Chain A
């Protein structure tokens, strides 16, 4: 499924300074029963966000009007657990285009890159700086510059480089999926497949 191109994103951010946020928290299993990809944003962080009677939990950051933006900043080891791409869909569908953390779980990172959410891994120190800046001023702006591979706290100019491989980078810049690439080399795949032992 194609997604919007990603170039430079300047936005306020939503802080979630919790470690090991697993995909069961991002989207609980009982919301995985859809057969189409829509509406997952409503259930993003469902059990942290809503009480059992569906009233919002005021203490949770997504229910706090002070915080908003297209960037989600999470604690270390973000996205561990199940491979459900629904977690990345929920993040995207809610309106986030970028997740910042000091460490990502593998499958979640891959899933994000496949659907147009940019995972930005920063140093633990820089992560702390970001959390502190947002804590002091919820209107703090972050700039995520994909072509330059930088993330900047606009209030102070503090900046870090982040890693992304060239292939994924050009996909994100152009809004391409891996599947487009694979379909283009189908004949090569077919000849590779002939005479395999299994």
Chain B
């Protein structure tokens, strides 16, 4: 046994149908998720070629990107969105693909529902025409976003052609400080690596912080892998992973379960396996994070000031353009900046744990008058848990409303757009210019920071509002 393998190698190598010399590998795909925005042209492609979907049972369709988050029982008003949704339904029906459309009990954001129903599995290859497919890596799967041409390839042949990326291991050792969440860990890593620091790599997250993390937290971290340029990120499956998956609707059962478990237990990286790059951070260096610029790498600990242009890597002109868009100045403190909107949701932070965290701070307080808050569960299942756990009552008492599931203001394809010039503290994943609406200004942060902003109307350190026993 000479070759010591990484988790990534083991999963990748077991899916290579063939390798092309001086070219890519043909990679077999176990699970394919589709949504309304990046799939219609792919379906059109196979239709024009007159070929079927090769394995319809391996593709799952949900509507999320441009669905409204209020009055979902009514017809979708925007004709273009309505048309895309109709096309997805037609395509799914025509090709025999599971379809969870608007109003379906399993409907929700593609990366939230996949894990909820056991579609996401350790050791699997999972793709979707959405870059945050990296979320599913939390289970020890190779999961990454693909383009529409590749969606067509998967529909037609269940394979895509990929050059094997380089490998990077990111260790975070120690235990997290009070008030520091998985989102902060991810934003911290991106701020250290920059948005292109992991381009060309597939990342494995290792170390005590990730071992201690819940599955939800691991999903948040893996979700954000793409924001440092990585194709994806993954975490070795452990007992927590298996317990999460077991019994879910599409997960293997009985003898099949035993068979996959035997495989899954072999997956963790071998002791001594080599990575192309390895980086280690200390958990104790991380505090609640917030972004101040127009890419997710422009983040700082919430008590710090905005860095000066000279202190950051990359072009000074680009940096200044970014601060100008945000109407911030070098050296400004983030704390105390007035904000207009709060968005809790997205495939990054739209799971039940995120709503629990948000509720832990707003409980017994009131929404600030100057804040419009959009609280959007990632799925109907999350929505149901919010109600069952009594979180909805806490939110209502504090003056918040709950919306219906979907991507919502994460990419603002539906009506949920932050108006030009307004500031939003958002638990989503991208603060690009105009991402949350033309001219919108986004501050990315954790659900705790979002909650603190929602009740104070400004950027506030959540630790000031938290009592130790609340999060114990």
Q: Do A and B come from one complex?
A: yes
Listed in ascending order, the chain A residues whose CB lies under 8 Å from chain B are: 1, 18-20, 22, 24-25, 28-30, 32-37, 47, 52, 75-77, 80-86, 88, 103-107, 110-111, 114-115, 165-168, 177-179, 181-183, 185-186, 188-190, 192-193, 196-198
How far, in whole Å, are A19 and B318 apart by their CA atoms in the complex? Answer: 6
How far, in whole Å, are A85 and B279 apart by their CA atoms in the complex? Answer: 31
Contact call B149/A115, Cβ cutoff below 8 A: yes
How far, in whole Å, are A33 and B84 apart by their CA atoms in the complex? Answer: 7
Contact call B434/A75, Cβ cutoff below 8 A: no
Q: 3 shortest A-B CB distances, which residue pairs?
A: A167-B23, A85-B147, A83-B145
How far, in whole Å, are A65 and B81 apart by their CA atoms in the complex? Answer: 35
Given known A19-B318, A22-B295, A107-B146, contact A179–B80 (CB-CB < 8 A)? no
Given known A83-B38, A83-B146, A165-B24, contact A19–B157 (CB-CB < 8 A)? no
Question: Binding site of B, secondary structure by majority: helix, strand, loop or mixed?
Answer: loop
- Return chain A residues, CB-CB under 8 Å to B295: 20, 22, 80
Contact call A30/B412, Cβ cutoff below 8 A: yes
Task: Give me 7 A-to-B residue pairs in the complex whose CB atoms sit less than 8 angstroms apart, sorted by A's number.
Answer: A19-B314, A24-B411, A35-B87, A47-B434, A80-B295, A165-B22, A178-B149
Contact call B318/A85, Cβ cutoff below 8 A: no
User: What's the minimum C-beta distance from A102 to chain B, rounded to whole angstroms?
Assistant: 10
Whether a CB of chain A sits under 8 angstroms from the CB of B430 is yes
Contact call A177/B37, Cβ cutoff below 8 A: no
B: interface residue count bin: 35 or more
Option from B17, B150, B433 in Cβ contact (under 8 Å) with A47: B433
Cross-chain pair count, CB within 8 angstroms: 206
Contact call B17/A85, Cβ cutoff below 8 A: no
Contact call A28/B158, Cβ cutoff below 8 A: no
Option from A83, A104, A182 in Cβ contact (under 8 Å) with B26: A182
Option from B17, B121, B161, B318 in Cβ contact (under 8 Å) with A75: B318
Contact call A20/B196, Cβ cutoff below 8 A: yes
Q: Which of B179-222 contact A (CB under 8 A)?
A: 195-196, 199-200
- Return chain A residues, CB-CB under 8 Å to B44: 35-37
Which A residue's beta carbon lies closest to that of B161? A178
Given known A84-B38, A106-B199, contact A189–B159 (CB-CB < 8 A)? yes
Contact call B199/A185, Cβ cutoff below 8 A: no
How far, in whole Å, are A192 and B131 apart by their CA atoms in the complex? Answer: 27
Option from B65, B66, B133, B152 in Cβ contact (under 8 Å) with A179: B152
Listed in ascending order, the chain B residues whose CB lies under 8 Å from chain A are: 17-18, 20-24, 26, 28, 30-31, 37-38, 40-41, 44-45, 49, 51, 54-55, 65-66, 78, 80-81, 83-84, 87, 121, 123-124, 129-131, 133, 145-150, 152-153, 156-161, 163, 165, 195-196, 199-200, 229, 231, 252, 256, 259-260, 263, 295, 314-315, 317-318, 321, 411-413, 420, 430, 432-435, 438-439
Contact call B433/A198, Cβ cutoff below 8 A: no
User: What's the minimum C-beta distance from A57 to chain B, rounded to whole angstroms?
Assistant: 13
- Return chain A residues, CB-CB under 8 Å to B263: 197
- Return chain B residues, CB-CB under 8 Å to A20: 195-196, 295, 314, 318
Given known A24-B430, A105-B199, contact A197–B259 (CB-CB < 8 A)? yes
How far, in whole Å, are A47 and B417 apart by their CA atoms in the complex? Answer: 15
Given known A166-B23, A181-B161, contact A83–B438 (CB-CB < 8 A)? no
How far, in whole Å, are A63 and B54 apart by their CA atoms in the complex? Answer: 45
Contact call A24/B318, Cβ cutoff below 8 A: no
Option from B159, B160, B165, B413 in Cβ contact (under 8 Å) with A29: B413
- Return chain A residues, CB-CB under 8 Å to B18: 185, 188
Contact call B130/A83, Cβ cutoff below 8 A: yes
- Return chain A residues, CB-CB under 8 Å to B28: 189, 192-193, 196
Contact call A188/B17, Cβ cutoff below 8 A: yes
Contact call A105/B196, Cβ cutoff below 8 A: yes
How far, in whole Å, are A76 and B413 apart by their CA atoms in the complex? Answer: 28
- Return chain B residues, CB-CB under 8 Å to A178: 149-150, 153, 160-161
- Return chain A residues, CB-CB under 8 Å to B420: 52
How far, in whole Å, are A1 and B149 apart by their CA atoms in the complex? Answer: 8
Option from B123, B161, B315 in Cβ contact (under 8 Å) with A198: B123
